[in-house]
Chains A and B, each alone.
Chain A
Amino acid sequence: MNTVAVVHEYHAGHPSGLWRWITTTNHKDIGTLYLCFSLLMFFVGGAFAMLIRAELWTPGMQLMDPEFFNEMTALHGLVMIFGAIMPAFVGLANWMIPMMVGAPDMALPRMNNWSFWILPFAFILLLSTLFMPGGAAGAGWTMYPPLFLQSGVAMPFQVFAIHLMGISSVMGGINIIATILNLRAPGMSLMKMPMFVWSWLITAYLLIAVMPVLAGAVTMMLMDKYFGTSFFNAAGGGDPVLYQHVFWFFGHPEVYIMILPAFGIISEIIPTFSRKPLFGYTSMVFAIASIAFLSFIVWAHHMFTVGMPLAADLFFMFTTMLIAVPTGVKVFNWVATMWRGALSFETPMLFAVAFVFLFTIGGFSGVMLALVPADWQYHQTYFVVAHFHYVLVTGSAFAIMGAVYYWLPKWTGHMYNETLAKWHFWLSVISVNVLYFPMHFLGLAGMPRRIPDYPVQFTDLNQIVSVGGFVFGASQLLFVACIILCVRGGKKAEARAWDGAHGLEWTLPSPAPYHSFAEPPAPNLIWTHPYQGS
């Protein structure tokens, strides 16, 4: 492999083979580990989703016990969020942030190694609960008590797995902040940073702020189950709804942890393929910061039916609606970036444009969900499932796929196969809408989420959804094929793989050398950086 050859160029006698990957402190190696891990988890979580869609093909229970179905919905959510989306963004941060800010590596390389290598153990712990007596916990990824407290031996294992994921995320967040604040090349002021770096700086603060809150919530549950406390037990003076408040105080910023880096990616890709500077750089930065701030004061919109006082309902409705303003600014700025550009539609751009369309649809249903009276109809139905899959799959996951195609030439030194990649895109974008759009209708017609069996009038739409799901799942094999083929060979990539690309990473050769920017880049490279024009 190319990268291995490069290692030996720099470090004769450096460990090779498996030991290299276990002991590595190189940001590019660790980035690769994160990305491969998240791809694996994407398929594990995807396999759970395929089982869910297979059981929901037709009314009646055909394949599994209802409890196993609940385990699948819970693990699908946990694996996709903590195993696929978040590690993919951290992997991209590891690979790209040092190169984008002109740093030789991450600020804390050994901690970087540790924060990755915790993850495989966390997920072995989580997935091992499937094989325990009583099976995994079937209380949803949100783990609401008292239901979660009813799960058997799986419960403490799941709690510890979440602790480990949280430790990994917090360490990753600290590392990213330390890198961005300390290791920027001379001349790169904060307001000259690429948008991807900005989005990750803010995301990392969110991670550090909220992951301990989740750890606290699940620990309180552990105490309730094994140490006789009653935090969430009404009979002992506690309150089950308290858990929901604490959980969503983590959960809503968590939602933005999964979308802000996507905003950063889209803000890199669209200017490149529009051959035009990003429109409104400053307002983009402030929009991300306002969204991050608002994320801390909207959490209870996940709980409009728990019976809050009117004043609380009104407060959370208004703050939630407010998020549409900075989010709208971002969408308008992307459109203005494309406007009067010289557009070309290579695969990264296709994913970015699809992101703008489909994320906006997810945003629309988000505004509708914010209206408390209407939410009484939408809440806990497939309308919500449609909403958050539009923002997380056609939002976050599409941005990640776009980013992979965008930076693969830089990582591997080869151009990917454009024809195969376009097939991947078109199959994905069509099937994903067949998969998620009808869910809006199912939800409006009253089909609750997380049910293993449904009344017969929902059959047609569920079958359309399942077909979309199977095609979308199978299409992702093309993604893997594209990546493997690109790693193994292909047209040689130039240093500036895309003619409209800007940023320090494109001043390095492709593939990027194992150690880059051992010397800081010349300030003139930053000054000609066109994010703010000349």
Chain B
Amino acid sequence: MLLKNPKQILCIALAVTLAALSGSALAMDLNMPVGVTPMSHDVYDLHMYAFWMCVGIGVVVFSLIIISMIWHRKAAGHKAAQFHENTLLEVIWTIIPFIILIALAIPAARVLVKMTNTSDPDLTIKIEGYQWKWQYDYLQQGFSYFSMLAADSNAARQLDSKINPFSVPHYLRDVDHPMVVPTGKKIRLLITANDVIHSWYVPDFAFKMDAIPGFVNQGWIEVDQPGTYRGGCTELCGRGHAFMPVVVVAESPADYQKWLAAMRASNGVYINPHTLQAENYGSPVAYAPPQLNFVTPSMPAAAATGAVPSTPGPGAAAAPAFTPAAAGPVTKAATAAPEKTWTMASAMARGKKVFDDNCAACHMSDGKGNAAMGVPAIAGGPLPNGPLAAHISLVLHGKGIMPAWGNALSDADLAAVITFERNSFGNHGGGLVQPADIARAKTAH
């Protein structure tokens, strides 16, 4: 009968092992990335040390079981011994694991002490998690900006988008405004959140820290080599959890200074660091930033995504992902200029953009809402067709799963998007809201 014969069982086991090995061979790198920070190297070493220790113990224990299963079978005529205790043996196999654990605990504690030492940083960046985007605040430089999923990924990830994710460069791993850091500097990260708990994670930095509303966590990184490093949110934060990647561009200190200067001079418009470099190096197409994926930094993108034939090469992948700064969405500071006054046309155009970037994730781009999620429709809804004050108040302060947008968007953007909501989707609430109206509504509280 099938599977009664131990030889057959062993053959099957062997076949499974081989299948598993060949299966793994065709995939990408299977191990933890070595990474690009002193910490990630330590963590990798610790991981491999613990791994080989487990393999060693496993080989001993599993061999004993397998030997017993072969030699001590009743079918092979083995007669059962009747021993059932041996104090010496039991003491030995209590003490040996204890010693092994101490051998693991000491290096782990050493790395941990290093990881938690955030003293004497060269610079500090505050990271704030939102549903569903990140805000990077360069505390000593006086500017901050939001970083959200790149538009092409965002379009492709919609249900039934009919866009093949394999055709999107860095699908779900690209943002409009990456965080920029200098290499070789100790950077202290202050991490918090605005609404629910998020977690900021970049595998190549071996750094993961929860962003908790109302509390500020801290940690530090020091990036060895320039490159683009990708990660994401790792604490379940609602519907868009998978769609708020982290992208960090590490630049040489000189290039970083150039970027800082450009940012300070840009009046809040985000400057993509690669466009600065591209100017220095010639044509933008010629510059191919190092393709550093989740895997190892030295690995070319083609190998990292080797199993994915439809992914374009590094150069092609990079070009569309890095839009020139001026074309990108403007950040808070840019439109927050208090003297800004909208015309109906400009408010509607800007409002549509703000709506698509921030509101459409839940309320849908057609404004129909999402009944399954409990998200009301904007189209024909009571607020956009009712009194203006209530509408502004809800957008500013949120309610239930609706986030409070008061601090997340500029007054100008808030005015534009409210204007847009009241005059689109067949709504007849009407009115042209000005940034000053928003400012007044904020101070009224």
Contact = CB atoms under 8 A, between A and B. Distances in A.
Given A59-B166, A457-B295, 18 more contacts: A60-B163, A66-B239, A147-B236, A240-B197, A240-B212, A240-B213, A278-B84, A321-B105, A332-B93, A338-B68, A339-B64, A342-B73, A371-B47, A377-B43, A422-B3, A438-B23, A453-B165, A457-B28
Contacts of A64: 159
Contact of A426 (B12, B83, B89, B196): B12
A277 B84 contact: yes
B215 A152 contact: no
A374 B85 contact: no
A381 B202 CA distance: 12
Interface stretch (B272-280, B303-311, B323-331, B405-413): B303-311
A252 interface: no
Interface of A: 58-62, 64-68, 70, 133-135, 138-140, 144, 146-147, 150-152, 233-235, 239-241, 274-283, 305-307, 310, 313-314, 317-318, 321-322, 324-325, 328-329, 331-333, 335-345, 353, 356-357, 360-361, 364-365, 367-368, 371-374, 376-377, 379-381, 419, 422-423, 426, 430, 433-434, 437-438, 441, 444-446, 448-457, 459-461, 464, 532-533
B440 interface: no
Contacts of A328: 93-94, 97
A314 B24 contact: no
A453 B149 CA distance: 13
B72 A310 contact: no
B80 A342 contact: yes
Q: Interface on chain A toward B: helix, strand, loop, or mixed SS?
A: helix
Nearest to A142: B236
Contacts of A135: 372-374
A532 B84 contact: yes
B352 interface: no
A377 B72 contact: no
Nearest to B167: A456
Interface in B253-307: 293-295, 304-305, 307
B84 A457 contact: no
A60 B164 contact: yes
A409 B196 CA distance: 52
B68 A339 contact: yes
B18 interface: no
Interface in B68-85: 68-69, 72-75, 78-85
16 contacts: A147-B238, A239-B215, A305-B209, A314-B112, A332-B61, A332-B93, A342-B78, A343-B74, A353-B69, A367-B104, A371-B46, A376-B43, A377-B43, A380-B199, A450-B236, A453-B243
Interface in B33-87: 33, 39, 42-43, 46-47, 50-51, 54, 57-58, 61-62, 64-65, 68-69, 72-75, 78-86
B105 A419 contact: no
Interface stretch (B120-128, B170-178, B426-434): B170-178
Contacts of A317: 105, 108-109, 112
Contacts of B24: 438, 441
Given A66-B242, A276-B80, A451-B242, A368 B50 contact: yes
B81 A139 contact: no
B54 A444 contact: no
Contacts of B46: 371, 373-374
A444 B31 contact: yes
A325 B115 CA distance: 27
Contacts of A360: 58, 61-62
Interface size class of B (residues with CB under 8 A): 35 or more
B222 interface: no
Contacts of B196: 146-147, 150
A298 B361 CA distance: 39
B159 A61 contact: yes
Interface stretch (B226-234, B342-350, B417-425): B226-234
A146 B12 contact: no
B235 interface: yes
A283 B72 CA distance: 24
A234 B213 contact: yes
Contacts of A233: 214
A378 to B, nearest CB: 8
Contact of B72 (A59, A305, A342, A419): A342
B1 interface: yes
A244 B27 CA distance: 36
A276 to B, nearest CB: 5
B72 A340 contact: yes
> Which 9 pairs show the lowest CB-CB distances between chains A and B?
A234-B214, A134-B374, A307-B217, A451-B242, A364-B54, A446-B203, A59-B165, A277-B84, A342-B80
B438 to A, nearest CB: 22
A338 B69 contact: yes
Contacts of A68: 372
